[in-house]
């Protein structure tokens, strides 16, 4: 669903009404008494630089076929997820309830706190470092951020590159930070 049809609050199961829900097994419980205070924005395209298709959904649900593309041979066994994916057309897919820990940040650190997965929500934007993101994506992201900021004591909104600068570059220079409220 696009931002116009998304709910204004998370439901009792920490899901975004109106978003398509595809359960990922790549999640677990957050540590006790750990509040969500960080939102991490990522960029993903599978294969790299190509958009559409179901490869991202397959990666996040451990069903990526290593024979479908040469790039998949190196990543098909990874156990990763994000809470949300925002497609190029603004469609929002949720993979992990917000109250659970998605496996999106990897080895990471923000303001001296390691293990950012423990206290963050991960949002994947369908895109790559080399290309700008689309207007419908920014509209959906703005709506999603507003809902999350009403639901959790969010202090910071950062990119994957901010929490893992030695390993990651996303969401990259094509992401326009001025289009979101931080």
State the pTM of this model: 0.97
pLDDT band at 181 (very low <50, low <70, confident <90, very high): confident
Tell me: cis bond preceding 38? Omega within 30 of 0 counts: no
Residue 2: pLDDT over 70: no
Contact 50, 41 (CB under 8 A): no
Q: Is residue 28 part of a domain?
A: yes
Q: Is residue 170 part of a domain?
A: yes
Nearest to 69 by CA among 87, 50, 86: 50
Region 13-24: mean pLDDT is 97
Q: Is residue 71 part of a domain?
A: yes
Q: Is residue 87 part of a domain?
A: yes
Instruction: Report d(CA 66, CA 122) in Å as an integer.
Output: 25
Q: Is residue 13 part of a domain?
A: yes
Region 108-116: mean pLDDT is 97
pLDDT band at 5 (very low <50, low <70, confident <90, very high): confident
Q: What is the CA radius of gyration of the chain?
A: 15
Residues facing residue 44 across a β-bridge: 126
pLDDT at 7: 84
Contact 83, 104 (CB under 8 A): yes
Q: Is residue 182 part of a domain?
A: no
Q: Which domain holds residue 162?
A: 3-177
Contact 157, 142 (CB under 8 A): no
Q: Is residue 31 part of a domain?
A: yes
Indicate which residues carry an active-site annotation. 124
**Number of domains within the chain:** 1
Q: Is residue 152 part of a domain?
A: yes
31-84 pLDDT per residue, tens: 999 999 999 999 999 999 999 999 999 999 999 999 999 999 999 999 999 999
SS3 159: strand
What's the CATH number where 90 sits? 3.40.80.10
């Amino acid at each position: 669903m696009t931002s116009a049809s998304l709910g204004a609050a998370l439901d009792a199961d920490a899901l975004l009404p109106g978003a398509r829900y595809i359960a990922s097994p790549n999640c677990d419980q957050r540590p006790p008494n750990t509040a969500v205070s960080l939102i991490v924005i990522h960029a993903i395209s599978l294969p790299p630089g190509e958009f559409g298709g179901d490869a991202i959904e397959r990666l996040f649900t451990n069903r990526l076929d290593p024979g479908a593309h040469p790039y998949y041979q190196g990543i098909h066994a990874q156990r990763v997820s994000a809470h949300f994916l925002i497609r190029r057309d603004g469609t929002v897919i949720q993979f992990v309830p917000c109250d659970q820990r998605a496996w999106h940040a990897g080895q990471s650190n923000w303001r001296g706190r390691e293990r950012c997965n423990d206290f963050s929500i991960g949002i994947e934007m369908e895109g790559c470092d080399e290309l700008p993101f689309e207007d419908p994506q920014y509209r959906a992201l703005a709506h999603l951020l507003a809902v999350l900021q009403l639901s959790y004591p969010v202090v910071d909104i950062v990119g994957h590159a901010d929490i893992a600068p030695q390993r990651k570059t996303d969401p990259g220079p094509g992401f326009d930070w001025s289009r979101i409220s931080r």
